[in-house]
Amino acid sequence: MTADTDLLKLINPALVEAAASGPRLLGGACRACGARSFPRAAVCTDCLSIDVETLALPSEGRLYSYSVVHQAPKGWDVPYVLGYVDLPDGLRVLAHIAAPPAAIAIDQQVRLALGVVGTDAAGAPLSTYTFVPA
Ligand SMILES: [Zn+2]
């Protein structure tokens, strides 16, 4: 098993940061209208302001919906679960759900984690943020 600190080095630092409580997604909050985004939008999709600050997002949410995916980009492990997670601040995040389909259900509480989702052409792990049952 790969430690979170090792996985974090492989993930775009604009998307995820380490916190004492675990990994956190980094989104955006528009200073003009308050709209949230993930990934952080360079331009607010609600008011077109470019004044969008980086904001750490809640690490737990509710599984809105999911699907089991059997076709994936080269190197990704299949099948995998892809789901929408509703965060308490109103954002809906699309992410891998790192659990077998039999272990998840719509409306289930999930929490952010880091995980390996495949292997690249050189044999290195492909890692990303995921959600797991809370
Ligand atoms: Zn805005």
Could you tell me which residues come within 8 angstroms of residue 29 by beta carbon, excluding any fewer than 6 positions away? 35, 36, 37, 52, 53, 55
Give residues with Cβ within 8 angstroms of 117, minimum separation 6: 76, 77, 80, 96, 126, 127, 128, 130
Ligand 1 mean position, distance from CA 53 (Å) = 11
Domain-wise residue ranges, the chain = 4-133
Ligand 1 centroid distance, CA of 12 (Å): 24
CA of 89 from ligand 1 middle (Å) equals 15
Instruction: Return per-residue pLDDT of the chain as tens, 134 residues.
Output: 457 777 777 788 889 998 888 999 999 999 999 999 999 999 999 999 999 999 999 999 999 999 999 999 899 999 999 999 999 999 999 999 999 999 999 999 999 999 999 999 999 999 999 999 99
Tokens of 49: 């302001």
Between the CA of 97 and the centroid of ligand 1 the distance, in Å, is 30
Q: How far is the CA of 128 from the centre of ligand 1 (A)?
A: 28
| 54 C-alpha to ligand 1 centroid (Å) | 13
Instruction: Please tell me the distance from the alpha carbon of residue 4 to that of residue 74, in angstroms, as a whole number.
Output: 24
Amino acid 13: pLDDT = 86
- H/E stretch holding 8 reads helix 4-10
* Sequence letter at residue 20: A
E strand or H helix at 4? helix 4-10
Ligand 1 centroid to residue 127 C-alpha, Å: 31
